[in-house]
Structure 1
Amino acid sequence: MKSITDEKLQSLVEAALFIAGKPMTVQSLKQELLLDYQVTNKRIKQVLEQLTQDYQGRGIALLKVASGYRFQAIAEHSEDLSALFKEKSPRYSRALLETLALIAYKQPITRGEIEEIRGVAVSSHIIKTLTERNWVKTVGHKEVPGRPALYATTNAFLDYFSLTSLAQLPELMPISALSLGDHDTMPAQVSENR
């Protein structure tokens, strides 16, 4: 095992997080990047804390999300940076967003339970879209006749919305505070956080 200076360790971790294309944990940094070096988890955490501080007040930040650490443009620049992307952010129907919210807040939940709360049928296209985005997965089956699938959110959902856990979801508004219109026709925009 080789030793490594603090400066080189910080530079190497910074470069790895910059090019990784996915969040990295302390363990993945240690096992994939620093395998040949004598580095403790505590030392890697200190480097991540230092990098987080170094990027404060800049255009990008080092964030901890559910799957690890990643660099991300700060939220206040998202509207201006959207001009750099040729593709527009996907537009999601209100029905899809309501279904996703119900899964996030009530998980694990069945399709029938979602329909009961929303008062309308949930199309298979909505569940398919959420599954293809890897925001939702089947986590089991409810022990009732027909054994319907139980749905829950994934770490990819948390990562997309820059959350480390479901506890960071905003508090639900009471139903009386919402003005619910036509569930399936009002489009809603969800913009990329990166």
Structure 2
Amino acid sequence: MNAEAARSAGTVPEDLEPETHAASRSAREPALRLLEAMLFAAGEPLDEATIAARLPEGSDVRALLAELSADYAPRGVNLVRVAGKWMLRTAPDLGFLLARDKPEPRRLSRAALETLAIIAYHQPVTRAEIEEIRGVSTNKGTLDVLLAAGWVRMRGRRRSPGRPVTYGTSETFLVHFGLDAIGDLPGLDELRGTGLIDARVSAGITVPLPSDDPALKDDEDPLEPEFDLSFSPEPDQGDDDER
């Protein structure tokens, strides 16, 4: 059966024919090249609206991103979606080869890691609420470290006595940890699977469904424009790790 007969019989979809596919890709080639150049030159992840504004009118942005992502999948650099945006990133299996060329980052203290996890899962959350969950006081410097890293942001003020500041995670947090959305954080079953939570933990223990909705909650007020965002000195490693 020749190609024409196969088409008549409906056994070969037109969009799978080599000639048609090649012609279609050729028509998209200028947009693909421009998209690739934009992503390569970008200093930060790009959202689809920004990409669409710079591509030729009528370009199917999602189709182009899907095609470019497939092209890059087997390469040393991958096209990935993080924080709802797109960026080029070193393939995960090659990261260890480049680690020697990167400066060794300062490790977060146990207190900072616990505080970051609580903010990620419980946001919006105040310092007092963080301390209640951790069971120990939280040094102000611990929060300042997370704020300085750009992983945590001040959202607003809680409508309660003292009007404490509420904290949440940032887009930088999602980018750093390779998350498309905060909902991609592991749930209880996944945490058990990694050994981070004892498999025998009480069945009543639950992991909250994280949400980083930028809109303020009903019990939050916006921060004052002149709010002081300066950071205090970083705490010593054991400032608030004592149990």
> TM class by shorter-chain length?
0.7 to 0.9
SS of 1:163's partner is: coil
The equivalent position to 1:177 in structure 2, one of 198, 201, 216, is: 198
The equivalent position to 1:118 in structure 2, one of 90, 111, 134, is: 134
> Does residue 39 of structure 1 match 2:58?
yes
SS of 2:159's partner is: coil
Aligned to 1:91: 107
Matches within 5 A, 1:66-81: 66-81=83-98
Gaps of 5+ in 1: 179-183, 186-194
Moved over 3 A (4+): 172-176
Root mean square deviation, CA, Å: 2.1
Q: TM-score, normalised by structure 2?
A: 0.65
Q: CA deviation at 1:39?
A: 2.9
Which whole-Å deviations, capped at 9, do the CAs of 1:64-118 have from their partners, x for residues lacking one? 1115100001222222211122x21231111111100000011111111111111
Gaps of 5+ in 2: 1-25, 200-236, 239-243
Greater share of residues in strand: 1
Q: CA deviation at 1:5?
A: 4.2
Q: Which has the larger radius of gyration?
A: 2
SS of 1:88's partner is: coil
> Does residue 163 of structure 1 match 2:179?
yes
Which whole-Å deviations, capped at 9, do the CAs of 1:99-140 have from their partners, x for residues lacking one? 000000111111111111112221111111211222111212
Which whole-Å deviations, capped at 9, do the CAs of 1:24-76 have from their partners, x for residues lacking one? 11111123x33xx3234xx1111100011111122211001115100001222
On the 8 A contact 1:67/1:159 being kept in 2, the answer is no
Query: Aligned residues, how many?
Result: 171
Identity rate of aligned residues, in percent? 36
For 1:176 and 1:28, the matched residues in 2 are separated by 41
For 1:28 and 1:13, the matched residues in 2 are separated by 11
Which whole-Å deviations, capped at 9, do the CAs of 1:2-39 have from their partners, x for residues lacking one? xx9410110110111011011011111123x33xx323
Q: TM-score, normalised by structure 1?
A: 0.81
Aligned to 1:64: 81
Aligned to 2:163: 147
On the 8 A contact 1:67/1:155 being kept in 2, the answer is no
The equivalent position to 1:19 in structure 2, one of 15, 20, 41, is: 41
Q: What code does the residue aligned with 1:159 have?
A: V
Q: What code does the residue aligned with 1:177 have?
A: D
